[in-house]
Structure 1
């Protein structure tokens, strides 16, 4: 049984370009639910689709492994630094409840990403968390990105939630092949751990040992036990980025463990629905400016009521006004 928070995440994922029919059906905007029976039927269909996705992930990972091994014979580059020092965007871009709010009601869905791209120069892709991307899907991302657009990619749950970093060294390297395909359009890899994973020295060492230092790796924890100086120091030694998380019941703290800082805005008291005030965002800008970071990655996951859009635009404006890292 999925927790209510995790089940909510399942219904919120985005990016449909290059996905299979099963994934596209899951991501497609749905009409409002009007009865309890319709709600239960939709939950059942979603659970069935999720199971199919999970069953397919092992096969997709194996195929990407083959691609990576073939590419390694010619040598793999490090993830390039990317253009720009301030990257602000949203966690996903394909949400049915943005239709008529952010996307014009008459705008075809195949034009949604170009519309998003006009307003933001980066996006955090959430769909790969649920379904391991194919090489064809990654090439689709490449085609739809113009010069200077950067993707951050959320790592598949096969690594972080199903296997929980146990025996996943090879899988982490295979997923990292996405960076080689994206090249200059690659931002960060986001590894999100479930709230049930609490701090232990063994778990920390296992995670950091498996991260590829050639990549820009971000780890997001959902349990407060990870906010600890011992953890921060080990992240610094590994060159990994500790994700600063604005979320309910988590420390309200900017953590800098590398040249880059990474912040995810979920909401302060309620997941995904909070509308950040200018004062709240100004406080984050002040912290980031004082941190001495060379680059900042900030993504808004409070997609309900399209708050993510206006909050991301406000944060970008505040960064420019204070000339942060320009």
Structure 2
């Protein structure tokens, strides 16, 4: 029998003022928005970690507010991807993994590394960066122990789940990655490290890449079908995505799909519509 992976469909972030009174019921306190979203969707990308190092108490709070079985993806810091451009990032990675994401415990899903549009493909640079990434919660804790003063006094470098795997996904935006995928260079690096290549729907702005490079993970980000961050997905588009996700899951890979077309409050509705097509609608049968 073909092994079928777990499918999760969610949203990228959850704090968007235009969603209040639309996706979020009128009068819902902002502090309860994550609680509400996590009862309707099985996963959310944490975006705040991209902009600044978060704190252990924040991650622990997000874990408490979400139901059993819910999973977060965590976005790696732009200091690593956009400012340092993956080079000389040993301490920066230690600070990130010490900043508290291990407080999510079993709710910690893949770590997303989104590269900037001005960073081209460099096999050696990418290979060296991927080799630094921890593959278990225990390895992440050990790496975090090398943090510097930026997280001194607020670091979390222990974990109750040391043996849980920690998976990674890479989203690319420079055209040279498309060329490197076509001739196999990019796929070779990612496959050797077991890192998933993100399939990003960007209304044609950045490369479309739908290659499976991780043995157990497929990852997609849907930024807009026709207009970046704005347009929604009609029935035909959602049907096509549902078929693609079924094909990925049929390989035994876990599949994470996130909608990032948040400008017109389309992301949560599109996510729920895709989940329904796939038969993975939320919530779970039991509470937190």
Q: Same fold (TM over 0.5)?
A: yes
Corresponding position: 1:316 with 2:275:
yes
Matched ranges for 1:52-71 at <5 A: none
Query: Which ranges in structure 2 are unaligned for 5 or more consecutive residues?
Result: 137-165, 281-288
Query: Does residue 1:256 correspond to 2:215, yes or no?
Result: no
Alignment deviations for residues 276-322 of structure 1 (CA, whole Å, 9 cap, x no partner): 1121122222223233242100001000111101110111011118x
Whole-angstrom distance in 1 between the partners of 2:129 and 2:227:
28
Match of 1:289 in 2: 246
Paired residue for 2:31? Answer: 110
Distance (Å, rounded) in 1 between the aligned partners of 2:207 and 2:52: 30
Partner of 2:170: 219
Q: For the Cα contact (< 8 Å) 1:173–1:212, is it kept in 2?
A: no
Pick 1 or 2: higher relative contact order, CA cutoff 8 A, min separation 6. Answer: 2
SS at match of 2:270: helix
* SS of residue in 1 equivalent to 2:264: helix
Aligned to 1:198: 120
Q: After the TM superposition, list the runs of 4 or more consecutive aligned residues in structure 1 that deviate by more than 4 angstroms.
A: none
SS in 2 for 1:87: strand
Aligned residue for 1:237, secondary structure, equals helix
Q: Distance in 2 between matches of 1:90 and 1:217?
A: 18
Q: Which has the higher helix share?
A: 1
2-structure distance, mates of 1:180, 1:265: 27
Contact 2:123 2:185 in 1 (8 A): no
Is the counterpart of residue 162 in structure 1 residue 162 in structure 2? no
1:267-282 pair list within 5 angstroms: 267-282=224-239
Gaps of 5+ in 1: 1-83, 322-326
Using the TM superposition, name which of 136-145 and 247-256 deviates more: 247-256
Q: In structure 2, how many angstroms separate the alpha carbons of the residues matched to 1:245 and 1:156?
A: 19
Q: Which residue of 1 aligns with 2:109?
A: 187
1:97 corresponding residue in structure 2: 18
1:167, 1:253 → 2: CA distance?
27
- In the TM superposition, residue 209 of structure 1 has moved relative to its aligned partner by 2.1
- For 1:299, the equivalent position in structure 2 comes to 258
- For residues 128 and 107 of structure 1, the distance between their equivalents in structure 2, rounded to whole angstroms, comes to 25
Match of 1:230 among 178, 185, 194: 185
Count of matched residue pairs: 238
**1:179 deviation in Å?**
4.6
